[in-house]
């Protein structure tokens, strides 16, 4: 299946990095978060990527144009450097389409701009390109494919934030307060599966999860896939630090390609 990755956002809550590089290029270890996500999809056999570019498009293009396989693969160096043989490779069998979708475009319109690459597909995958998970993707795809009436499905995950949910009565008195992570709420995890014809549900100027999703909900053609395992979005500098820590301690659950 083709994988559409929305890579054009400004990442305002991660300004420590995103003012100089686009958010998907913020590194975790030697590779950007975008690479970790693509590696996840490639592990499950989905290696045809469509990158919807915007802010920092040149950074992403140049990264792959000058890609160095040696940074994340074992290799053998012989004859004083004259011969270099990779033991493993990352992207030799990847196909990457780079699509400029505008600097200030919302997700729905980025998908509309890239529509010609996916609208004739039976199904395609999509992602915000800023979150990582160990979600068993084949199971999610299997569940979605069994219901031909569904136009879309997305992973529903538990929020990791430590905010508290507060309920008030009509007079402003607090009736309950509960930590978000224990509230039983799910949030949109940003891992999507769509039928190719979902493009017809998006009109000019619309944001993907607002008007189009509202219509699909009314038509009962949008489904959630609840997942209680590992999921983390890289929205803030603290999130990056947490992901870096997991990676440094070799405890990165999203590295499904390393698991037996």
> Domain map of the chain by residue range?
2-73+86-156+185-258
pLDDT tens digit sequence for 69-128: 877 778 888 776 667 787 878 888 999 999 999 988 999 999 999 999 998 999 999 999
What is the reported pLDDT for 162?
64
Most confident of 13-22, 164-173, 211-220: 211-220
pLDDT tens digit sequence for 24-60: 999 999 899 999 999 999 999 999 999 999 988 999 9
CATH architecture of 2-73+86-156+185-258: Alpha-Beta Complex (3.90)
pTM, entire model: 0.89
What is the reported pLDDT for 17?
59
* Spatial distance between the Cα atoms of 38 and 88, rounded to a whole number of angstroms: 16
* Spatial distance between the Cα atoms of 67 and 213, rounded to a whole number of angstroms: 37
pLDDT tens digit sequence for 191-202: 999 999 899 889
Q: Which SS3 state, helix, strand or coil, does residue 43 take?
A: helix
* Spatial distance between the Cα atoms of 126 and 48, rounded to a whole number of angstroms: 12
């Amino acid at each position: 299946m083709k994988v559409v990755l929305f890579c054009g956002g400004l990442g305002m809550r991660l300004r420590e990095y995103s003012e100089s590089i686009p958010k998907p290029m913020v590194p975790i270890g030697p590779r950007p978060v975008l690479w970790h996500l693509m590696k996840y999809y490639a592990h499950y056999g989905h290696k045809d990527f469509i990158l919807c570019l915007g802010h920092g498009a040149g950074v992403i293009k140049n990264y792959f144009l000058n890609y160095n396989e040696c940074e994340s693969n074992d290799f053998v160096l012989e004859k004083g450097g004259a011969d270099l043989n990779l033991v493993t490779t990352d992207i030799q069998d990847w196909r990457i389409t780079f699509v400029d979708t505008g600097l200030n475009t919302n997700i729905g319109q980025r998908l509309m701009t890239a529509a010609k690459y996916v609208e004739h597909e039976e199904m395609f995958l999509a992602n915000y390109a800023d979150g990582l998970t160990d979600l068993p993707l084949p199971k999610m795809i299997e569940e979605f494919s069994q219901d031909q009436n569904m136009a879309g499905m997305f992973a529903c995950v538990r929020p990791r934030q430590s905010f508290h949910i507060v309920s008030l009565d009509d007079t402003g008195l607090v009736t309950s307060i509960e930590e978000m992570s224990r509230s039983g709420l799910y949030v949109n995890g940003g891992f999507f599966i769509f039928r190719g014809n979902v493009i017809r549900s998006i009109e000019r100027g619309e944001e993907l999860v607002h008007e189009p999703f509202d219509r699909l909900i009314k038509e009962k053609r949008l489904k959630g896939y609840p997942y209680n395992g590992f999921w983390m979005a890289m929205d803030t500098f603290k999130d990056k630090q947490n992901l870096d820590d997991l990676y440094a301690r070799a405890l990165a659950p999203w590295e499904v390609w390393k698991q037996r």
